[in-house]
């Protein structure tokens, strides 16, 4: 009887450990804030998987900021042109290193990607123009602190 009880505890412990490992290694599900319009979800997924669609849904020249400098980092404004744009791929949290949040304020949806506990951020802003969503602003990777 003791052997059966020990075996059950061992199997139960291994099942918990296996479930935790699977949840840590599986791809994160795409989640959106409740305040986002349903058509934004479809746009966002296609924007990051269809390169032609992405290029057609960016307002060029695209305004934003980048961080530059060697010993002193400063933010400077930038205008991205279509021929220099690097395609954006679907979000990858790199095993929990990065987090993504969405906010909807006056029909402008901001996506903020934060890494290393807030040490790095990237921001994108989207707006609906002529009935379709477009990327209207991009803040490249910025280091804080």
For residue 63, tell me if it sits in a domain.
yes
For residue 109, tell me if it sits in a domain.
yes
Report the domain count for the chain.
1
For residue 19, tell me if it sits in a domain.
no
Q: Are 33 and 104 in contact (CB under 8 A)?
A: yes
For residue 24, tell me if it sits in a domain.
no
Distance, CA of 74 to chain centre: 24
For residue 8, tell me if it sits in a domain.
no
Position 145 scores a pLDDT of 74
- What would the pLDDT profile of 15-34 be if each residue is shown by its tens digit? 333 343 344 444 444 455 56
Position 69 scores a pLDDT of 86
Residue ranges of the chain with per-residue pLDDT less than 50: 1-30
| Domain enclosing residue 105, as ranges | 31-143
Position 136 scores a pLDDT of 98
- What would the pLDDT profile of 73-91 be if each residue is shown by its tens digit? 899 999 999 999 999 999 9
For residue 85, tell me if it sits in a domain.
yes
For residue 70, tell me if it sits in a domain.
yes
Position 71 scores a pLDDT of 77
Q: Are 50 and 68 in contact (CB under 8 A)?
A: no
Whats the size of the chain, residue-wise? 145
What is the rounded CA–CA span in Å between residue 126 and residue 107?
9
Position 5 scores a pLDDT of 34
Q: Which CATH number do you get for residue 66?
A: 3.10.450.410
For residue 94, tell me if it sits in a domain.
yes
């Amino acid at each position: 009887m003791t052997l059966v009880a020990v075996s059950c505890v061992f199997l139960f412990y291994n099942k918990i450990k296996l479930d935790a490992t699977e949840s840590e290694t599986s791809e994160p599900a795409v989640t959106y804030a409740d305040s986002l319009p349903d058509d934004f979800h479809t746009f966002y997924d296609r924007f990051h998987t269809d390169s032609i669609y992405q290029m057609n849904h960016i307002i060029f020249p695209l305004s934003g900021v980048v961080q530059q400098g060697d010993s002193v980092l400063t933010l400077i404004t930038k205008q991205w042109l279509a021929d220099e744009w690097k395609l954006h791929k679907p979000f990858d949290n790199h095993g929990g290193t990065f987090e993504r949040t969405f906010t909807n304020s006056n029909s402008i949806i901001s996506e903020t990607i934060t890494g290393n506990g807030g040490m790095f951020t990237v921001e994108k802003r989207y707006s609906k123009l002529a009935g379709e969503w477009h990327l209207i602003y991009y803040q490249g990777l910025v280091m804080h602190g």
